[in-house]
Amino acid sequence: MRTALTIAGSDSGGGAGIQADLKAFAAQGVYGMSVITAVTAQNTQEVRSVQNIDPSIIQDQIEAVFDDIQVDAVKIGMLSSPETVELVARKLQKYSPKNIVLDPVMVSKGGHHLLQADAISALMKKMISLATIVTPNIPEAEVLTGSKIHTEEDRMDACIAIQALGVKSVLLKGGHLNGEPNDLFYDGTDFHWIQGERIHTKNTHGTGCTLSSAIAANLAKGASLLEAIQISKQYITTAIRHSLDLGHGHGPTNHFFELYEKANLLVNHK
Ligand SMILES: Nc1ncnc2c1ncn2[C@@H]1O[C@H](COP(=O)(O)OP(=O)(O)O)[C@@H](O)[C@H]1O
Ligand SMILES: Cc1ncc(COP(=O)(O)O)c(N)n1
> Would you say 80 and 107 are in contact if contact means Cβ atoms under 8 Å apart?
no
> Would you say 214 and 230 are in contact if contact means Cβ atoms under 8 Å apart?
no
208 in ligand 1 pocket by Cβ < 6 Å? yes
DSSP 107: B
How far apart are alpha carbons 52 and 39 in whole angstroms?
6
pLDDT score of 259: 87
Mean pLDDT of 234-251: 96
> Would you say 46 and 114 are in contact if contact means Cβ atoms under 8 Å apart?
no
The pick from 112, 184, 198, 207 for probing ligand 1's pocket by mutation, whose C-beta has the most ligand atoms within 8 angstroms, reads: 207
Annotated catalytic residue within 13, 196, 208, 251: 208
pLDDT score of 270: 53
Who has greater pLDDT, 83 or 263?
Answer: 83
User: What are the chain's domains?
Assistant: 3-262 (3.40.1190.20)
> Would you say 145 and 173 are in contact if contact means Cβ atoms under 8 Å apart?
no
Give the Å distance between the CA of 182 and the centre of ligand 2. Answer: 20
Q: Could you read off the pLDDT of 96-130 as tens digits, one per residue?
A: 999 999 999 999 988 999 999 999 999 999 999 99
Q: Could you read off the pLDDT of 171-181 as tens digits, one per residue?
A: 999 999 989 99
Active site residue 40: no
Q: Which residues pair with 102 in a beta bridge?
A: 76, 134
Q: Kindly tell me the sign of the dihedral angle through the C-alpha atoms of 220, 107, 167, 236.
A: positive
Q: Which ligand is nearest to the CA of 205?
A: 2
Identify the CA nearest to 123 among candidates 156, 67, 83, 93.
83
> Would you say 55 and 26 are in contact if contact means Cβ atoms under 8 Å apart?
no
Mean pLDDT of 151-178: 96
Q: Which residues pair with 11 in a beta bridge?
A: 40
Mean pLDDT of 64-88: 98
DSSP string, 124-187: IIIIGGG-SEE---HHHHHHHHSS---SHHHHHHHHHHHHTTT-SEEEE--TTSSSS--EEEE-
Give the Å distance between the CA of 114 and the centre of ligand 2. Answer: 8
Q: Could you read off the pLDDT of 12-38 as tens digits, one per residue?
A: 999 999 999 999 999 999 999 999 999
Annotated catalytic residue within 6, 209, 210, 251: 209
Residues with CB under 6 A from ligand 2: 8-9, 11, 16-17, 40, 42, 77-78, 105, 108-109, 114, 205-209
Ligand 2 atom 4, closest CA: 17
Sheet architecture: strand order including 100-102? 47-52, 31-42, 3-11, 73-76, 100-102, 133-134, 169-172, 183-186, 191-194
pLDDT score of 260: 86
